[in-house]
Chain A
């Protein structure tokens, strides 16, 4: 199938050669920081986290490279079907999913349990990119042209909110908004939606679960309940702050190792890193992330087709949102909303989502010069 889609001059060898290997190296570097942190979180043991995470990364890396070699036109062609499969899975979660950690997020597909909301982060970008790829620049401004994209964003967002998973819902909405912005939707429309959103906030508040309300209230005034809901934020800030400039040293973070930090191998792993490696280590990791994002933007801008540009821009934005929301959460800038630190936190599903995303991103880079028709056919003109 690939042979019919690939342009003759883009052989597999050529694709592998033109692949952005420096970006792969950066991704591997960040993942390795994750391995080290998971090793430390287990008090100097590859069990139970570091080893499994390394195996997962190895598998995901292979998948990423395979995805990067797949012609972007194939993705364009199957963008809508993939989106609807993900949406159907989300609906299935609503019916048949099982509850983990107090929220219904997972669905079992035989051997593996998957989280459809994670898949949706990628496939929404693909669907929106396809939509705008086919839109002429003068059509983008029309109000009626906003209807489909907004529906594409709102449908999964509602399902995810009902699970309930506020963090992921916000990410899905913001990723969609970013793709719309990149596609050229007028800024005033975002302002309008923003104002409408603020106006709707009190109504939305009614629909929040008790624990979600509590988290927001705790965020607003964390000192009220130091052993209750705000425990996470306070302990995280104490661990971060006590790390200081140079940190307590690898595997030497007392707060993390004495279990004052909750879920240190997942959502709060950045706190452990900052406690053990100090400001230097935290900023270092932040710089690695910024470099990955910069490469993503670079690939997006260099692509010669709108679909590739929007996919690359959307995925880069998703990645940025992971990084920002997680770090802002553990440093107490925003409420606690279960978003992991990409590539570092322990967890298979998010790893897979990210690596599929990076595969697409690198694939956009590899296929930057491929002419793409409106429906993904090899463009003749």
Chain B
């Protein structure tokens, strides 16, 4: 132990060495701290904020859709949801609470399984939706029983509601969950539960209706629970869209059509405002928002009356005799015939080997232009069509808005078709036959139109050849849609005297003793209707069927019966309303379509849908559906059905 001083020296040396090493390591720690807290401080400060600050989007309320008088057609309804907050109830009691809840609201076994699954999967503070769209009485009963239902809360959300359901479904469309293809730069679309317009006005004006999202900066903890709101920026609510529709007229038309598979379009001839656009039958937009069951969907898809298709813009039909105004105008403009020049109709028309029949078997005798329209003489139009030539007829048709989309503010509009020589060569690689011109002369053959095109054509005839276009949007937000005043609308350059002849002919169709629609006169002083009937053969009655006793259209199965068409306007002097009626497989234009058109125009007149000038917006909307009128109209229609077909 005498060597202890040596050991002490050695120890001291070693201890100094070790302490030096420790000092170096401590310095390294200090250096590391300096690096993290001073050199890199800004970077970590940013990372820290990203950690704890969440930007949450606030969905703006979707704009409403209003009719021309301000009646809401699409609005946001409070959606009461029953939610369970798992952390507010002991996990052992959850089943019991659900059992209690079950006595108040219906919860299926699969609902329960879903809820239990979500309780396990989510963090305890995330509310789980048990049921949506609670009724008021359910909400009240839950509130009263609140002490027995720990963890259950009522949450209020917004849901799209369409108070008129199927009445305006095809115009409005519907909203649905965002799909992959909808995603653009708008972060709103990524919000869970966000809805976008999927069809109709909801789709066309989706951006305006949607508004812009607000945002809320919230501080969250490591588990994502919101601690507090740091700042909030309110979004811009979606703009209300006001339509040109008169929902009262729309309702009336739906009632009037009943079970028919049909389209009715009513248009203001001076402005192009679409006052009514009904495609019957329709779906209920609310069902789409709620979500359809497979069965419901199948029922819609398989219905042969095609409730999913907006027939007004996407149904294409041969215009039949309603096309005769165009043919007559083309002939008059070309000068192949004068208004008073007569053509003899003996009931049929021969062209080469082919024989074309007039609907009147024994013929009309000698008819001039007005008489030909009045009685819808086919032979007259065969002849003038042949004289005019298909290309001139097509050119005239285009002036009246056929052969192209009318440009109405709805998605999915069809073109229709007016054939020309070039078209046939290009599409079928075949030369044009004169017989095809002849058959086009009565609006059959290749000629195809949509109901909205027919309404536009009629409106342009009625307004003296002004190139109005149909539209549904009256205003978006505070901004009224930019529109030309009636005098600024360009003319389509058709001789006024020729138009006068056509209008006179159309007047006689309804108001002359020989007219095909003489039973459909309005009999209202100052509001007479003019128009043109059309009956379009869907399929010829075959020889075999004739042998089996099928003589009349009514004896055929529904889907082989003729389409009934009518186009018209009223009043004859200074017209305001144009209408097109297409009843699929409805029988005769004069027996089925014309009475509908008359009733619709009378209702529009009664409601004064256009309104006197600028004061219309202030007028309180008449919400009472015209119950009495509907009944009268129905009985009137039944009467017309019982009389023998006038035909055309």
Chain A interface residues (CB < 8 Å from chain B): 136-138, 178, 181-184, 235, 237-245, 254-255, 258-260, 274, 278-279, 282-283, 286, 289-290, 293-294, 297, 300-301, 304-306, 309-310, 313, 317, 320, 324, 327-328, 331, 333, 373-374, 379, 381
Other 11 A-B pairs with CB < 8 A, given A182-B14, A237-B36, A240-B33: A184-B10, A238-B44, A238-B47, A241-B48, A245-B41, A255-B52, A258-B221, A258-B227, A259-B221, A294-B19, A331-B29
CA distance A294 to B16 in the complex (A): 10
Are B43 and A324 interface neighbours, CB within 8 A? no
Are B43 and A241 interface neighbours, CB within 8 A? yes
Which one of A178, A183, A331 contacts B36 once the chains associate, using CB atoms below 8 Å? Answer: A331
Chain B residues with CB under 8 Å of A235's CB are: 51, 222
Are B33 and A274 interface neighbours, CB within 8 A? yes
Chain B contacts with A in 439-497, Cβ cutoff 8 A = none
Is B7 in contact with chain A by the CB < 8 A criterion?
Answer: yes
Known contacts A255-B48, A258-B222, A274-B37; A137/B32 CB under 8 A: no
In the complex, the 4 A-B pairs of residues with the closest C-beta atoms, listed nearest first: A241-B44, A242-B48, A258-B221, A279-B37
Are A331 and B32 interface neighbours, CB within 8 A? yes
Are A301 and B11 interface neighbours, CB within 8 A? yes
Chain A residues with CB under 8 Å of B34's CB are: 279
Q: Which residue of A lies closest to B41 (CB)?
A: A244
CA distance A320 to B227 in the complex (A): 39
Is B6 in contact with chain A by the CB < 8 A criterion?
Answer: yes
Are A260 and B15 interface neighbours, CB within 8 A? no
Are A260 and B41 interface neighbours, CB within 8 A? no
1/0 per residue, CB under 8 A from A, across B41-66: the answer is 10111011001100000000000000
Chain B residues with CB under 8 Å of A138's CB are: 3
Chain B residues with CB under 8 Å of A258's CB are: 51-52, 219-222, 227
1/0 per residue, CB under 8 A from A, across B221-234: the answer is 11100010000000
Are A260 and B221 interface neighbours, CB within 8 A? yes
A-B contacts, 15 of them at CB < 8 A, read A183-B14, A184-B14, A238-B48, A239-B48, A241-B43, A274-B33, A279-B38, A286-B26, A290-B23, A294-B19, A305-B4, A306-B7, A310-B11, A313-B15, A333-B28
Known contacts A255-B48, A274-B33; A137/B10 CB under 8 A: yes
Known contacts A254-B52, A317-B18; A286/B29 CB under 8 A: yes
Chain B contact residues, majority secondary structure: helix
Are B30 and A283 interface neighbours, CB within 8 A? yes
CA distance A374 to B37 in the complex (A): 51
1/0 per residue, CB under 8 A from A, across B331-353: the answer is 00000000000000000000000
Is B111 in contact with chain A by the CB < 8 A criterion?
Answer: no
Q: Which residue of A lies closest to B10 (CB)?
A: A184
Chain B interface residues (CB < 8 Å from chain A): 1, 3-4, 6-8, 10-12, 14-15, 18-19, 22-23, 25-26, 28-30, 32-34, 36-38, 40-41, 43-45, 47-48, 51-52, 219-223, 227
Chain A residues with CB under 8 Å of B22's CB are: 293, 317, 320, 324
Chain B residues with CB under 8 Å of A241's CB are: 36-37, 40-41, 43-45, 47-48
Q: How far is the CB of A73 from chain B (nearest CB, A)?
A: 14
Chain A residues with CB under 8 Å of B15's CB are: 182, 297, 300-301, 309, 313
Q: How far is the CB of A312 from chain B (nearest CB, A)?
A: 9
Q: Which of A244, A245, A313, A373 has the most CB of B within 10 A?
A: A244
Q: How far is the CB of B421 from chain A (nearest CB, A)?
A: 70
CA distance A244 to B11 in the complex (A): 41
CA distance A244 to B39 in the complex (A): 9
CA distance A313 to B10 in the complex (A): 13
Are A259 and B222 interface neighbours, CB within 8 A? yes
Q: How far is the CB of A187 from chain B (nearest CB, A)?
A: 9
Q: Which residue of A lies closest to B11 (CB)?
A: A309
Are A283 and B18 interface neighbours, CB within 8 A? no
Chain A residues with CB under 8 Å of B223's CB are: 259
Are A242 and B45 interface neighbours, CB within 8 A? yes
Q: How far is the CB of B536 from chain A (nearest CB, A)?
A: 67
Are A260 and B52 interface neighbours, CB within 8 A? yes
Chain A residues with CB under 8 Å of B36's CB are: 237, 240-241, 331
Q: How far is the CB of A262 from chain B (nearest CB, A)?
A: 9
CA distance A33 to B28 in the complex (A): 22
CA distance A373 to B44 in the complex (A): 58
Are A313 and B37 interface neighbours, CB within 8 A? no
Q: How far is the CB of B53 from chain A (nearest CB, A)?
A: 9
CA distance A305 to B19 in the complex (A): 19
Are B3 and A324 interface neighbours, CB within 8 A? no
CA distance A324 to B33 in the complex (A): 13
Known contacts A245-B37, A306-B4; A182/B52 CB under 8 A: no
Chain B residues with CB under 8 Å of A379's CB are: 1
Chain A residues with CB under 8 Å of B52's CB are: 254-255, 258, 260
Q: How far is the CB of B51 from chain A (nearest CB, A)?
A: 6
CA distance A374 to B3 in the complex (A): 13
CA distance A282 to B43 in the complex (A): 19
Q: Which of B28, B38, B48 has the most CB of A within 10 A?
A: B48
Q: Which of A238, A243, A254, A306 has the most CB of B within 10 A?
A: A238
Q: How far is the CB of B33 from chain A (nearest CB, A)?
A: 5
CA distance A238 to B28 in the complex (A): 19
Are B33 and A331 interface neighbours, CB within 8 A? yes
Are B7 and A184 interface neighbours, CB within 8 A? yes
Chain A residues with CB under 8 Å of B219's CB are: 254, 258
Which one of B8, B30, B220 contacts A309 once the chains associate, using CB atoms below 8 Å? Answer: B8
Q: How far is the CB of B48 from chain A (nearest CB, A)?
A: 4
CA distance A328 to B24 in the complex (A): 13
Q: How far is the CB of A282 from chain B (nearest CB, A)?
A: 5
Which one of B12, B23, B220 contacts A301 once the chains associate, using CB atoms below 8 Å? Answer: B12
Q: How far is the CB of A230 from chain B (nearest CB, A)?
A: 14
Which one of B1, B7, B220, B222 contacts A374 once the chains associate, using CB atoms below 8 Å? Answer: B1
CA distance A274 to B11 in the complex (A): 36
CA distance A282 to B37 in the complex (A): 10
Chain B residues with CB under 8 Å of A324's CB are: 22, 25-26, 29
Chain B residues with CB under 8 Å of A306's CB are: 4, 7-8, 11
Are B30 and A278 interface neighbours, CB within 8 A? no
Q: Which residue of B lies closest to A320 (CB)?
A: B22
Are B29 and A242 interface neighbours, CB within 8 A? no
